Amino acid sequence: MTRHGALYQDIVPYTSRYYDKGKFGRMFANLPSFAPDSPKVREALKDIGKKGGIMDAKDDLTKPPVDLITNPDLQVNNPNAPFMTAGMTFLGQFIDHDVTFDPTSSLERQIDPEFVENFRTPTLALDNVYGSGPGASPHLYDASDGQGIKFLVEPLGVKGKDGIEKFDLPRNTQNTALLGDPRNDENLIVSQLHLLFLRFHNVLVDAVRVKYPSKGPSEVFREAQELVRWHYQWLLLHEFLPQLCGEQVVDDVLNNGRKFYNWHNAPYIPVEFSVAAYRFGHSQVRPSYRANFGITSAPNPAPFFATIFDFNADHHSPDPNDLRGGKRAPRRFIDWHTFFNLGDGSTRPNKLIDTKLSSPLFQLLGFAGGDVISLASRNLLRQLTFSLPSGQRVAHAMRMKPLEDDVFEDLKGYKVNFEKSTPLWFYILKEAEVQHMGIRLGDVGGRIITEVFVGLLEGDNSSFLTQNPFWKPCLDCWEPYRTGKHFTIADLVRIAEGKVSVKL
């Protein structure tokens, strides 16, 4: 691949503290916690996020999953977003798993983020997909051709919409997926999205072999890996971030630089991002989804509708009636027409970004965390254990006008001053709701997320933004199918699933 050198300026140090790779840190290290860690504050946070509480959208889960999608009367408290498609929620989850992994911190005690190890490298390099490469992670790769530079994927033996053959992640005899990050098998949608990237890589390996027949396996692998990474970074920068944060914010950070997220020597992951701002996606999750349109070879193909997970479903069933991961069955595949705009009118939206979460998220599966089974309560408690500042203080520090107290009327009854000193995660959700009707993030949330992602790309000397900021996607096949001015996740789906052929 042709390179033109690193054309971006060196990163100017902003903070006086050095953050190692693989560590968390703070963007606003001098701001105090939004509240003292007291039993009263903890109980208030649990109550705000509890099942049936003020953050529960109170979806009627006694209704069939299809009704939660098609019946407007069941969506009054949990409205659809007008623009972002359902799959973007899970693309966001996949991206999160690429840059952060904290399996060690607790909800019960105060945590200094500088001493919490991030088990992901803070780069957008898909190490959750590639693991340590074919040499050190051979279980991820297919050795049947004698080279072992393609990913191992396993056919389900069925076809979905448009006659597309369907696959699953490789699994061991206990149905544990063989992949670079176990969280990418948390639910069926993100596991199938992970699979898309495996198949995208495999397609590009074939394309590189055709263009460079004299290259050896290791060179072919590196070339294909770079292409996959750069196309992934491109769609994050040109599709995901503009939809989520607004093109104006993205353009400002790219053209005028970052103001709040900087480092010495190497990037780190700010807890204001990982524990607060980037948890916006929990508000976008639908209570149920159409996973697929049915197995086309079956006599009467039946669409697979299911809740994202069902607390009461049989955990031991090989094919439960929800979308949990860790299972393999003929119907457990995704037809991406529902999740991304593939041009046939089947796409469904995600939910608005606001302070209401879909009801299945208030009863988490497989969580050994005492009485805190609500995702919302866990998120709120993390604001306290990581001593995050209030949304109002962060807004002041970013020279933005904070939201007025009366916006947080539903918090006043807790008598802990949350309407004036609001947990950052809750503040960012409310900010999106107030400033942009939940369509996208507001000033504080959008700026934090944009600066972190742009900063991670600028801090990675292998990203396209540092290697060649004028690079553009270079796969000829997707041009006739483009839905907009940029390479998109829908284009990646078409390529990975073999709907179009690729040449370099």
Question: What is 140-194 written as a DSSP string?
Answer: GEE-TTSS--EEP-EEEEEE-GGG-EEEE--B-TT--B-SS-GGGGSBHHHHHHH
Q: Cα-atom radius of gyration of the chain, to the nearest Å?
A: 22
Question: What is 96-137 written as a DSSP string?
Answer: HHHH----S--SSS---GGGSB-SS-SSSS-HHHHTTHHHH-
366 versus 413: which is more confidently predicted? 413
Question: What is 23-48 written as a DSSP string?
Answer: BEE-SSTTSPPSS---HHHHHHHHHH
DSSP 8-state secondary structure symbol assigned to residue 402: P
pLDDT band with cut points at 50, 70 and 90 for residue 104: very low
Alpha helix stretches (DSSP H) within 386-462: 391-397, 424-436, 443-458
pLDDT, tens only, 274-328: 999 999 999 999 999 999 999 998 888 899 999 998 888 888 899 999 999 999 9
Region 62-69: mean pLDDT is: 96
Contact 155, 167 (CB under 8 A): yes
pLDDT, tens only, 237-266: 999 999 999 999 999 999 999 999 998 888
Contact 271, 24 (CB under 8 A): yes
Dihedral pair phi/psi, residue 152, rounded to 5°: -80, 125
What pLDDT does 23 receive? 77
**Among the ranges 22-26, 68-72, 105-109, which has the highest mean pLDDT value?**
68-72
Q: What is the dihedral of CA 175, 225, 292, 364, to 10 degrees?
A: 50
Above pLDDT 70, what percent of the chain? 88
Q: 13-17, 124-128, 375-379, 439-443: which has the minimum mean pLDDT? A: 13-17
Question: What is 217-229 written as a DSSP string?
Answer: HHHHHHHHHHHHH
Region 116-145: mean pLDDT is: 84
Alpha carbons 71 and 180: distance in angstroms, whole number: 39
Q: Which residue from 220, 483, 469 is spatially nearest to 492, judged by alpha carbons? A: 483
